[in-house]
Amino acid sequence: MANLLSNLGIVAEYRGDFEGSRGFHERALAIRTDLGDRRAIGNSANCLGMIAVLQKRYSEARDWFQKSMGLNREVGDAWMVAINHNNLGNATRGLGDYGAARRHYADSLRAYRAYDDRWALAFLLEDIAMLAALSGNPPSALELIGAADAFRESIGAPRSPSLAAEIRSQLDAAVAGLSDEERLALRSRGRALDLATAVDHALAFCESAPAAGLQDRSLQV
């Protein structure tokens, strides 16, 4: 029953019914808590964090992802820990803590690199690209989006309309000072990167010092 409720929560999320999704995941979490299934509890916590991010409740999302990570470390699920790092990067980015977001994204990159998973890396590179845009680094943002473009094409996994719109909203202001030719060249350069080089470029951004005044904005909760 808990798995069914969790799946229904995912369906509701895809339909844009975030409150309905939250309700399904909370019911699944209650059952899993009664059963004491720590791996499944970690999954529910991660799902509830995802809904909180979508609702821009970033502080709540961070708490859910931290709980999920602790449980996944207990049960030895390294893949889910990598996902938790990616998700914590999104939550802390939303909170304006760009330094923490860089660290979480870097940890996720190091883990994903060993799996050669272009689907997961495409999402992660897009998340890092949006952080680069917010951090005043349009060249890195465009190159990483270009790399994600190529990875998605290689596996036949186009972006959802909502994700494409979110990326555009983050990039438009950041790249306003670049010409159309410069934007195309940077994105094309990213498309030409192989997997290892794209990850190296993303890590270099995450491990670089943030520009002064572009982190730790006022919390958005």
Domain ranges of the chain: 1-76, 85-212
DSSP state of 76: T
Q: What is the average per-residue pLDDT within 168-186?
A: 89
Question: Which of the four pLDDT bands, split at 50, 70 and 90, describes residue 14?
Answer: confident
**What confidence tier does 41 reach under pLDDT thresholds 50, 70, 90?**
very high
Q: Residue 128's closest CA among 111, 108, 151, 155?
A: 108
pLDDT at 55 over 80: yes
Examine the pLDDT at 210 and tell me if it is beyond 80.
no
Q: Alpha-carbon distance 67 to 166, whole Å?
A: 27
Q: Which of 108, 9, 90 is nearest to 54 (CA)?
A: 90
- CA geometry: angle 158, 5, 94, nearest 5 deg: 50
Please report the pLDDT score of residue 124 as a whole number.
Answer: 96
* Fold of domain 1-76: 1.25.40
Burial class (CB in 10 A: 0-12, 13-18, 19+), 46: buried
In 3D space, the residue among 183, 152, 190, 189 whose CA is nearest the CA of residue 168 turns out to be: 183
pLDDT at 219 over 60: no
Region 4-16 average pLDDT: 86
Q: How many Cα atoms are found within 13 Å in the side-chain-facing hemisphere of 45?
A: 23
Q: Are 69 and 85 in contact (CB under 8 A)?
A: yes
Q: Rounded mean pLDDT of 5-9?
A: 87
* Residues 55/59/65/67 CA torsion (nearest 10 deg): -130
Neighbouring C-alpha atoms within 13 Å toward the C-beta of 86? 23
Angle, alpha carbons 160-166-167 (nearest 5°): 90
Assign 102 to helix, strand or coil: helix
Q: One-letter amino acid identity for 206? A: C
**Both structure tokens of 195:** 């997997």
Per-residue pLDDT tens over the stretch 117-155: 888 999 999 999 999 999 999 999 999 999 999 999 999
Q: Nearest Cα to 61, choosing from 99, 87, 29?
A: 87
Q: Residue 177 — pLDDT band, cuts 50, 70, 90?
A: confident
